[in-house]
Structure formats: structure tokens, C-alpha cells
Amino acid sequence: MKILLVNYEYKGQGGGAGQQLYYLGQALRDFGHDVSMLIGWDYNYGEPELLSGVSTYIVKHKRKNIQLSTPLGMLFFVLRGLFRINQITRKSRYDIIQFYFSVPTGILKYGIVGKIPYVVSLRGMDIPGLQKDKNKVLSILTAVLNKHIVQNAALVLSNSKESANLYNIFAPEINIASIPNAIETNVGNKDSYSDKITKLVTVGRLVPWKRMDLLIDSIVKLKEKYPEIILDIFGQGYQYEILQQHIKDNQAEDFVTLKGFCEKGKLMEELSEYDLFAFMSTGDSCPNVLLEAMAVGLPVVAAESGGSKDIIEDGVTGVFVKPDGIEDAIKKLEYCINNPVKMKVLAINGRKRVEEHYSIKSTVQRHINMFTGVVHH
């Protein structure tokens, strides 16, 4: 098949969707397909890691930072991208096009030349109600456009059942197939487990729905009873200064640290040094960082929200916390701290689940099967 993958994000800039685009492009190429990519990129943050054997078209646009775009940045991607996809599809005939995000990326479907079937992959910000605080005005303004793009797609995908259910509240008539995110499962395993749970870690953009504040508050409270515990937070975002002040106000500088951005390979090495991964986000459709922590072999405790509900089986592969529940977070974190042997069992189970259900090979094969069904329809 001749396939065009389109995303305003790409590996190294933005969230998990950019990483997933890279994995899919790489694997489709390795399966023998003719793959092209149309991506957004801000050269202020370095050069993109391009895939050999994959034609890559780059739309320049400015980002707020390496992890976050802005409505204006998205608008520039759309305006330039419409012209670029028109050029690309005028020159080459594709069997299928996949858009990551209905809005903003899917808007480029209006620039396609010819009747090429397209797939929309719903990723998070384009799912009304998932990330309540993110681009709320933009979501309202683009609601009609969002629905029109999705209604006319040959296939609609989401990366979790929860995401599909939320989108169906917005548009009940849309049939959505779920394919989870893929991760590299050979990232190295945690080879030893401490008999004490003291070193906690989390990873994510510093934005409201990640609930870093709730996690910090939980650790501050637990510190009174468990003086050895520490929390390291990897990631960056516009809440950095707010959270830094929150840490200072709680006199927690000695045991809660904002570590900033960490390159993926180095991060995987870092994670294996911790005892427990805590994830309180209420707005992730299929959190890569949770899967990666499990792949490394960390026990995980997470809010029972979004894609985490598909990934974790409570008490078997991880521990669930009530979303936005500070008292339950404290209770469940304390349970983890007091049960290191149980945590090791959950970690081993979690790693096995990720290897069996979230490998790149198995996930990409599901994409190929669905693409083939569309092309031969």
C-alpha cells in the first residue's frame, strides 16, 4: 500500500501522538509498504529524526515549547499544511491517508486532490470532555468541523475504549475502532527491587489535567509518616513556575523535585532506579509514560481515568486511585509503600501485559489489517 501519515506533531515535539507516528511509519516501512509522512516541526528545538526510506514533508510552525503548541501555531500548520497536502496528493496517488487528530490535523483533508480514503485517529485534545481545561474555547469553536471531518472518514480510530466512549457522547453515530498505543518493549528491565518503597517518580507535561499538584500534596502528607520518601517529576510545561512555588509553599524542596525534560532513552534508564511510578492524570487517552514505566518493570499507581482504565487491572497489574481524589491517593500510595512484595508482583504482571498487548509489531499489524479493509472495500 502507498500510505501518507499526517500529524502536526512528531517524535521529539509534542505528546505521545508524535512518537506513535514515528513508530507506525517505521513499522509500516519495515512491513514493505510505501510510506510518506507530512509533519509539523519547530526548528527552534533542533532537527527532526527522519526515517530512512520514508518520504517526509515538513511544515514549519512555532510551538510554545518543545511539548506544547498554541492555537496560533496550529492555525499556521493548517494553513501551510493545506497547501502542502494539495501539492503532495496532486503529484502522488495514495491508497490511504491517516490523520492524527481530527482537529487540527484532519482539517488538511480539505486540501486532498482526488478521492483518497482517509483515516482519523482520535488522540486526546480532539475528544470533547477528555482534557477539560485544554483549549476549551478552541474545542467549542471547532466542534462542527471536528464532527464533519470524522463523519466523512473511511475509518475512525481511538487509542482506548474510554476515548471512544467519550467521543460517542459527542457524536453517538460514529463507529470507532480502538487500537492502543505501541511502545518499544525492549527498553531494559528493572533487575532488582528494594524491600522499601521510598523513591517515587512521575512523568508528564506540567499542565492542569496531569494533576501534579494532587500528587505533590499527597507526598507532602505522607512525608509526615514516611520521612524517607521522595518524589521526582520529569517533564515541562506552562505550570512549571506554579508547581515550583507550590513545592516551596509546602516546604517540600528537599523531597519533591521538578527534574525538567529528559530525552527518551535517558529517561528509560532513569526510571529503573525508582521504586514506584505514580500517575494521577485525568486527561490521557492512552498514556505512553504509563506503558513505558510498566515495560521497564516499575509498579504503577494511577488515576482510574482515560486510557489508564484499559491498561491497568486493579490489584493485578497496578493500583487504581479515584480521579481527583486526594484522600484516596494518600491511601493508595500508603498501601503501595507498605507492600513492597506485592508491588514487585504487580510490576512483573504489568511488564508481561505490556509485552503481550502493546508491542509495536502487534499494534501495527492491526493498523495494516484495517487499512487493507478500507482500501479493498
* Count of domains observed in the chain: 2
Range of the domain at 42: 2-181+360-375
Residues 105 and 216 grouped into a single domain: no
Residues 347 and 365 grouped into a single domain: no
List, in sequence order, every beta strand (DSSP E) within the chain: 2-7, 34-41, 55-60, 96-100, 118-122, 155-158, 177-178, 199-203, 230-234, 256-260, 276-279, 300-303, 319-321
Let me know if residue 352 belongs to a domain.
yes
Closest CA to 282 of 122, 74, 121, 134: 134
Model pLDDT for residues 259-273, shown as the tens digit of each residue: 998 888 889 889 999
Let me know if residue 222 belongs to a domain.
yes
In this prediction, residues 182-194 reach a mean pLDDT of: 81
Query: Taking the CB of residue 238, how many other CB atoms lie within 10 A of it?
Result: 14
* CATH code, domain carrying 337: 3.40.50.2000
Let me know if residue 33 belongs to a domain.
yes
Residues 76 and 23 grouped into a single domain: yes
Residues 84 and 207 grouped into a single domain: no
Is the pLDDT assigned to residue 137 strictly greater than 70?
A: no
Q: Residue 2 phi/psi, 5° resolution?
A: -100, 115
pLDDT: which is higher, 137 or 325? 325
CA 118, distance to chain mean position in Å, is 22
Residues 348 and 367 grouped into a single domain: no
In this prediction, residues 209-225 reach a mean pLDDT of: 97
Let me know if residue 192 belongs to a domain.
no
Model pLDDT for residues 80-94, shown as the tens digit of each residue: 999 999 999 999 999
Model pLDDT for residues 316-348, shown as the tens digit of each residue: 999 999 999 999 999 999 999 999 999 999 999
Residues 367 and 237 grouped into a single domain: no
Residues 89 and 150 grouped into a single domain: yes
Let me know if residue 191 belongs to a domain.
no
Query: Locate cell 513499522: which residue?
Result: 27
Let me know if residue 186 belongs to a domain.
no
Task: State the pLDDT confidence band at 191, using cuts at 50, 70 and 90.
Answer: confident
pTM given for the model: 0.85
Residues 137 and 215 grouped into a single domain: no
Residues 98 and 243 grouped into a single domain: no
Residues 176 and 262 grouped into a single domain: no
Let me know if residue 194 belongs to a domain.
no
Residues 327 and 222 grouped into a single domain: yes
Model pLDDT for residues 19-69, shown as the tens digit of each residue: 999 999 999 999 999 999 999 999 999 999 999 999 999 999 999 888 788
